[in-house]
A and B are shown apart, each in its own frame.
Chain A
Amino acid sequence: MTTNTVQVPRSRRFAVGDSKPPTAERSWYTYVLAAAWILFLGVSGLFFWSIVSKSLPVWQKQAGTIITGTGWGGPYGGLPMIIGTLQTSLIALVIAVVVGLGTAISIVFLIPARLRLITATIVELLAAIPSIVYGVWGLLVLSPWMLAHFYPFLDSLGLTFLGSSNIATGPSILLASIVLAVMILPIFVSITREVISAVPQDLIEASLSLGATRWQVISKTVLPTARIGIMGAAFLALARATGETVAVALTIGTISKVQWHFFYPGTTIASWIATAFGEANSNDIQALMALGVILMVISLGVSLISRWFIARQRKILAKV
């Protein structure tokens, strides 16, 4: 051997055919990153396991009652909460989609470019407001106003199936739904806005060149192309609405009763957990954990659907 050989550090040696290039060498950095993601996955896994395992006795003893029962204490029934969650979030979704679609279309196509940024910013600031602030606004500002004006107005339209404005006390399914609608609107608008501004300009121009009016461009070209993405936005908003806690807890009245008259109080899963946890004994806590599992299933299912829609919209836009 000559004295000219350079000593290659062990970590840098590699032969042709090695599966990993020398850049993939392990350093302390790799271990730090690994520690972080193992901790993250561990805690996430523990999150699901811990809530499920705490509610296990309820699922073993009375799996049917927790879903279909209506009483609380003794056998625990979650039906009022499940129905209430669906009622409030669906009413909120309908309001948010109708208003939000118009808003998103206005922001993207109708208002002057200089107003566009500021309007989009305002709508996104709405998303940053903590839910408790919406709850306070709903309880202390919107509720008295609705009691004085909105319930009597709906009464005068003859919508008696909603209940009577004379018996209504303020907190109600309708109030909670309207507060929820205001809360989920920014989420729906910001995603819908992104989806419809991603519709290719040449499609819009082709449609304009055929003599279409602005509304025809929107209804015949933009909305069909963005359809799936808008569905995704709606489901994402729905997922947020089902899991919302304190704003609903303040405005719905939290009474464990299946409520079909929307002027009167009801409850939702999340708001019931928040309210009932205060004076819960260990059996109550197991039942509340079981409600938590139901909420987890509903809201993760909805957000899974939303993610599937949004991924499909990406594929559609990649094609056109």
Chain B
Amino acid sequence: MTDLFTTITTNDALRAEIQAISQRGRNARLIRSRIVITLCVIALAIAVIPLAALSWEIIVKGLPVIKASFFTQLPLTPNLVNPNMTGGVSNAIVGSLVLVLYSSILSVPVGVLTGIYTAENENRTASLIRLMAQTMAGAPSILMGLFAFALICQQLGFGYSALAGSFALAVLMVPVIVVATEIAVRNVPQTLREAGLALGAKPHKVSMKIVLPTALSGIVTGCILAISRAVGEAAPVLFTIGGATLLNWKPTDPVSALPISIYIDAKSQWPSLRAMVFGIALVLLFVVFIASFTARFLVGRQQRKS
């Protein structure tokens, strides 16, 4: 009695039949594989289309709007006599700069120092801070607006002001900075720290003279990303900054911001104002992409160094 293996290897007809069956199965599997792979690549194309469409529309419609007066003039309201009288968005540009400045002053020191603390301490406080930072980073940005409105505008009586808007943005930025700083500081090799301590340096000297300079590019990257997110956010400042059409800069003054100008003009009845929106969006996209590329460049340089 022969075993199965001998039967197959000696019986040509049987072997051919088995090969045919397996070939058929293989073909079916390959066809199915190709179909699904094609679908995946189509999905990739669908995912990239919005970026292409969006950038194209905004560049093509935005560039004609941008001229010198766009940056230097205050906004004007078109009327029936002058339907194209739109002025510029200098108030929003100044407002956005002011908001970024004040919110960075409020958020960067607190965020960086808190991040250093969580990176260098492994205790209950550190895990509570970590939990809080992750929770705050996931909270919807409109809630920061509600918070700043309740606390700064109402409770502390500042009303609609650059301070309230900056505070809302700072609450948004701090968790981002805390998380980024913690990662950057943790990535500093332990041996560097130990070398410093072995030379007799005090812990805070090690922290400031060794750990911080090494982690600096990571921290700066985190701050850039936080700022670029704050520049584009409309929800936290929607009902905290007042949307002034003047060149205000004091913390207690109401100001405007680029996203707010977009939000208001996009709903306008005037086609000339709706056209302006693309120009403002282009400026905003430009700022955000520059920030994103700078952050990428810094991360890349850091990776090459280490």
User: Interface on A for B, CB 8 Å cutoff?
Assistant: 23-25, 27-30, 32-37, 39-41, 43-44, 46-47, 50-51, 54, 98-103, 105-107, 110-111, 119, 121-126, 128-137, 139-141, 182, 185, 189, 211, 213-216, 218-219, 236, 239, 242-246, 249-250, 270, 273-274, 277-278, 288-289, 292, 295-296, 299-300, 303, 307
Contacts and interface: CB of A to CB of B under 8 A. Distances in A.
B48 A299 contact: no
B213 interface: no
Interface in B107-152: 109-114, 116-118, 125, 128-129, 132-136, 138-144, 146-147, 149-151
B32 interface: yes
B55 to A, nearest CB: 9
A40 B110 contact: yes
A4 to B, nearest CB: 21
B117 A37 contact: yes
Nearest to A243: B140
A50 B147 contact: yes
Contacts of A46: 147, 151
A312 B134 CA distance: 17
A37 B128 CA distance: 10
A189 B198 CA distance: 45
B151 A33 contact: no
Contacts of A39: 110
Nearest to B28: A213
Contacts of B144: 47
Interface in B200-251: 202-204, 207-208, 228-229, 231-235, 238-239
Contacts of A37: 113-114, 117-118, 125, 129
Contacts of B149: 277
Given A215-B33, A246-B259, A270 B129 contact: no
A296 B263 contact: no
A130 B232 contact: yes
Contacts of B40: 102-103, 105-106, 110
Interface string B83-114: 00000000000000000000000000111111
Q: Which 3 A-B pairs have the closest CB atoms?
A: A130-B232, A102-B43, A243-B140
B116 A102 contact: no
Contacts of A124: 292
Which among A24, A126, A129, A242 has the highest number of chain B CB atoms within 10 Å? A129
Interface of chain B, main secondary structure: helix
A25 B204 CA distance: 10
B263 A246 contact: yes
A137 B57 contact: yes
Given A278-B239, A289-B150, A303-B138, 15 more contacts: A25-B203, A33-B113, A34-B117, A36-B117, A37-B113, A43-B174, A46-B147, A51-B147, A100-B47, A110-B41, A133-B262, A189-B47, A216-B33, A273-B142, A273-B146
B141 to A, nearest CB: 7
Nearest to B109: A36
A34 B117 CA distance: 8
Interface stretch (B9-17, B64-72, B74-82, B283-291): B283-291
A132 B132 contact: no
Contacts of B163: none
Given A103-B47, A270-B142, A274-B142, A50 B41 contact: no
Interface string B249-270: 0000000000100110011000
Which among A43, A136, A137, A289 has the highest number of chain B CB atoms within 10 Å? A136
Contacts of A25: 202-203
Contact of B54 (A103, A133, A246, A277): A133
A246 B144 CA distance: 14
B138 A239 contact: yes
Given A27-B204, A50-B150, A136-B278, A246 B33 contact: no
A239 B284 CA distance: 25
Interface in B149-183: 149-151, 155, 171, 174, 178
A47 B136 CA distance: 9
A133 B285 CA distance: 8
A302 to B, nearest CB: 9
A172 to B, nearest CB: 16
Which among B41, B110, B146 has the highest number of chain A CB atoms within 10 Å? B146
B142 A292 contact: yes
Interface string B38-68: 0111111011101101100110000000000
Contacts of B57: 137, 141
A35 B54 CA distance: 44
